[in-house]
Amino acid sequence: MLANLLIKPGQIELREVETPTAGAGEVVVKVRAALTCGTDLKTFLRGHPKFPLPTLFGHEFSGEIAQVGKGVKNFKEGDEVMSVPSGPCGQCYFCQRGQENICDGAMANYALGAYAEYIRVPAPVVSQNMFEKPANLSFQEAALLEPLACVLHGLSLPKLKEDDTVVVIGAGAIGLLHLLALHAFGVRKVIVLARRPYKLQLAKKLGAYKVVDVNEGLYRESILEATDGRGADLVIECTGQPPVWEASVNMVRRGGEVIFFGGCKQGSTVTFDTHRLHYDQITIRSPFHLTRAAVKQSYELLSDGRLMGKSLITDQFPLNQLHEVFSLLQRGDCIKYAVIP
């Protein structure tokens, strides 16, 4: 089969490699759509500690089952499916304590290599986090299952109220998925902060209560003005930049919450005013990855049409133009690209 490999940071090669086969409990999926994401871009630019190079990569996908391994009962060849790339082991310390999102075995059971004609999906994923794709849902939208599930896991932690004012910092795919998910939950007063006109315009089109261009400064003042001087009930940081982490704490009201969704580069440090954290009772959360409950909720939201996921896919490209796709991603005037084998 043809598959894209990341040879070293900045170098992608389309190669002929052996087509995977399905082991016990596994399936092989013929990829119909794979989506780009911020993690893939960071991996392209600087590598990834979990994926030694050269490596297959890409992990947001949907497609048709091409082969079924022994013991698989819920799926058959030809089924159209959508899946996340991981599944919890159910046995480790963290799984036993209801923290399956940080399961010890999650990365060992990870479906990597969606920028290819076929991808092998491990047994824990097939049995727990794979679903039949509804006929009314496109393959491209179905491939949003994983990033949306990560967003929904984070949003499951605070006690959201429909009259909350929420600030989302960053209008990339994750920031805009937060906006769409919050709307699906009935939260309408969502303020989006970003710096690129393309993304600010899209956030406004998708129903943001207010968009703020951070290049113009005074964004904290804009938030205070929109909240009668209190600050936001919830601030969600989606950029993964230490200075933005630090600024986030000053945008939230007393008794409010901050979600650090965007992961910073390993070794990064941040500094907060302890007086602000303690005496203003600020809750800080740092959700990682996803849970089965979040995946199921993501599937339901995508299936019933409550999410405008299609609007996040800027364009589509064939498998042999992946390098061009990543060049476009670096320019920033886009959200996601669909790679179609």
Question: What integer best gives the mean pLDDT of the chain?
Answer: 96
Range of 126's domain?
Answer: 2-149+290-340
Same domain for 186 and 163: yes
Please give the pLDDT value at position 95: 96
Q: Which of 126-130, 224-228, 235-239, 305-309 shows the lowest per-residue confidence on average (mean pLDDT)? A: 305-309
Residues 139 and 215 occupy one common structural domain: no
Are 164 and 120 contained in the same domain?
no
Is there a single domain that holds both residue 215 and residue 320? no
Same domain, 167 and 222: yes
Among the candidates 262, 285, 308, a domain finishes at 285
Q: For residue 169, give the nearest of 230, 260, 253, 257 by alpha carbon.
A: 260
* 19 and 128 fall within a common domain: yes
Q: How many domains does the chain have?
A: 2
Does residue 12 contact residue 5 with C-beta atoms inside 8 Å? yes
Q: Is the pLDDT score of 28 beyond 90?
A: yes
Compute CA distances 192 → 63, 76, 161, 207, 262, whole Å.
33, 43, 18, 10, 15
**Do 273 and 256 share a domain, yes or no?**
yes
> pLDDT digits over 259-301, tens only?
999 999 889 999 999 999 999 999 999 999 999 999 999 999 9
- Listed residues 245, 260, 285: the one ending a domain: 285
- Let me know whether 38 and 19 are in one domain: yes
Rounded Cα–Cα distance for residues 290 and 275 (Å): 32
Give which of 264, 261, 266, 317 is closest to 290, Cα–Cα.
261
Whether 75 and 22 map to the same domain: the answer is: yes
Position 275, amino acid: H
pLDDT beyond 80 at 194: yes
Residues 6+ apart with CB under 8 A from 168: 175, 178, 179, 182, 190, 191, 192, 193, 236, 238
Asked whether residue 199 falls in the same domain as residue 274, the answer is yes
- The CATH number of the domain holding residue 140 is 3.90.180.10
Of all residues in the chain, the percent with pLDDT exceeding 90 is 92
Q: What pLDDT does residue 274 have?
A: 96
Q: At what angle do helices 145-155 and 292-303 cross, to 10 degrees?
A: 120
Name which residue leads in pLDDT, 122 or 48. 122
Residue 190's CATH number: 3.40.50.720
Residues 156-180 as b/e (b if ≥16 CB within 10 A, e otherwise) read eebebeeebbbbbbbbbbbbbbbbb
